[in-house]
Structure 1
Amino acid sequence: MTPLSAGLRAGLARGAIECRQTLTNSQDLMGYVFPSLVFLVVMYLMRDRTVEGTDFSMGAMVLPSVLGMTVMFAGLMTVAQLLIVEREDGTLLRAKAVPNGMQGYLVGKIVTVSGMTVVSMLIILVPGLFMFDGLALGSVGAWATLAWVMVVGLAATMPLGAIIGSLFSSPRQIGLVMFPMMGLIGISGIFYPIGDMPDWLQWIAQVFPMYWLGLGMRSAMLPEALAAVEIGASWRHLETLGVLGVWAVVGVIVAPMVLRRMARRESGSSVQARKLKAMQRVN
């Protein structure tokens, strides 16, 4: 067995175990269920509002946008948080000490995050299908679009999460990332059509993956007529694939370099120093 196949096999097994542990741990599971329930309540409260110029429910339009935002948060924030926590508690150092351990660790995280992203999306999607009428998920093409947007979105965001996670040494510091994330949510057309925003905000939003994830999910789930409220009155599938693909390529190039640098700096003394610092914060 080659080192690559050994790492891949170990990573798949690790990811499957972590997914099972998450799904059977009430505290971890609530971390996925509770935010999803909050979004469902928000969308339900928006059900009687309509998209300007149509009779289509705003709540139904927000549903796919929230799915896109879920992919963004999973790929970026969850990966960053896992990396920071497991770097602090020594999990990363132990993986580094095992043959093919780092390959297995990274593959395991990809499997875990991807699996739990699907679970998070289903928690929102299944009730949403019963809450709202007019969603266009009755064809194989719609489900295929939903799938490829999720896959490409995770490919674009998980390397970014790994880069961010390698830059912070404490889980407390990850809160600094939430402020720009909240700003991106506000300008990316997640809860309100982006076409009503100033042109300069539209251009900023289109630089980042969140807007394109929301657009891609809307293209899969909404009637074709709703494309009229989007920029260019089009779902822009090629542009979605292109922008997310560029982010994925940049991330795949940069993330391994940053992760290798971080792994080289990991040692027993550095892990112990972080544990002592964490204990001092608790006390």
Structure 2
Amino acid sequence: MTMAWRAGWSRGMIELRQSFTNAADLFNHFFWPVVMLVTLFFMRGSTFGQTGLGLATLAMPSILGMNAAMAMTMMSQHLTADREDGTLLRAKATPDGMTGYLVGKIISVSLGLVADLTLLLVPGLLLVPGLRIGDLASWLTLAWVLALGLVATLPLGAVLGSVFASVRSQGLLTLPVLGLIAISGIFYPITALPQWLQWIAQTFPMYWLGLGMRSALLPADAVAIEVGQSWRHLETIAVLGTWAVIGLLLAPVVLRRMARRESGSRVAERREKALQRIG
């Protein structure tokens, strides 16, 4: 098992390094941070109601939380792609290969996400005024929210990657994710939404990751626009922790079942279908 963890660490670091030397992956790393920074730039002149708080200031930490939640979709896409091209089958064929594979994916996705957040956060701190960045407690809060958020979302991403049969079918995930972004208080405070939408948003990790990031980076008086006028750290831990437990219980079961069904004939069948679509 120790060898599997070591192999997973090595695999993850290799994949991470490749993602920053491959042109297509490099574009993906920079594209969304640039889009979000442009969005924040055009939001700078707007404020929320009579509070005087800038929308860009409110949105900046929320966008960090949204990007952290997107680790779920990244994990799902990677696993589905590797399942389709036979990488997962090769991992299954080696001793403790699945363990090493999953460790590698967790490392590459997690560290890749941290790099993406850094690409957004560093220029964002210069672009967006009013963020609380000189307090050690702020950075500690940012760290535990991100760590707990990854534990809550990465196993769910593995489950989704096991369910979807092909990369093309990952498009089915896009619409629900966009809907959650729209109602999770990312670009506008959730308290401005109808009560029933607020309850739906608070069921999923995306809202709580955004709330946790806001509690870390916004000034103390910004809590007045939150639900219950509280940062609700205990509730954040409870909800993200619940999703983490669900994911950690489901992921091993679903992955084992998916791995048992994988075979050379299934990979060849998927490859043939892909070639037919290209043709």
Q: TM-score range by the shorter chain?
A: over 0.9
Query: Which blocks of at least 5 consecutive residues in structure 2 are unaligned?
Result: none
Please list the CA deviations of residues 124-150 of structure 1 after superposition, one character each: whole Å capped at 9, or x if unmatched: 101111002210011111111111111
Q: How does 1:128-277 map to 2 (within 5 A)?
A: 128-277=124-273
RMSD of aligned residue pairs (Cα, Å): 0.7
Instruction: Choose which of 16, 25, 30 in structure 1 pairs with 2:27.
Output: 30
Query: Are the counterparts in 1 of residues 43 and 56 from structure 2 also a CA contact under 8 Å?
Result: yes
Mapped partners of 2:48, 2:231: distance in 1: 16
Instruction: Find out whether 1:112 has 2:101 as its counterpart.
Output: no
Q: Residue 58 in 1 paired to residue 34 in 2?
A: no
2:60, 2:128 within 8 Å by CA — same for their partners in 1?
Answer: no
Task: Using the TM superposition, give the Cα deviation of residue 222 of structure 1 relative to its aligned residue in structure 2, in angstroms.
Answer: 0.3
Q: Is the 8 A contact 2:133 2:139 kept in 1?
A: yes
CA-to-aligned-CA distance 1:12-39 (integer Å, 9 cap, x gap): 1111111111111121011121111111
Distance 2:129 2:37 in 1: 15
How many residue pairs get aligned? The number is 279
TM-score, with structure 1 as normaliser: 0.97
TM-superposition CA deviations, 1:190-220 (whole Å, max 9, x none): 0000001111111111000000000000000
Following superposition, the deviation at residue 56 of structure 1 comes to 2.1
Q: Percent identity?
A: 55
For residue 228 of structure 1, report the CA deviation from its aligned partner. 0.5
Amino acid at match of 1:158: L
**Aligned partner (choices 42, 46, 64) of residue 39 of structure 2:** 42
Distance 1:18 1:52 in 2: 45
For the pair 1:6 / 2:25, whether they are aligned, the reply is: no
Provide structure 1 residue ranges, at least 5 long, that are not aligned to the other structure: none
Shift of 1:55: 2.0
Query: How far apart, CA to CA, are the structure 2 residues paired with 1:218 and 1:170?
Result: 36
Question: Structure 2 counterpart of 1:71, which letter?
Answer: A
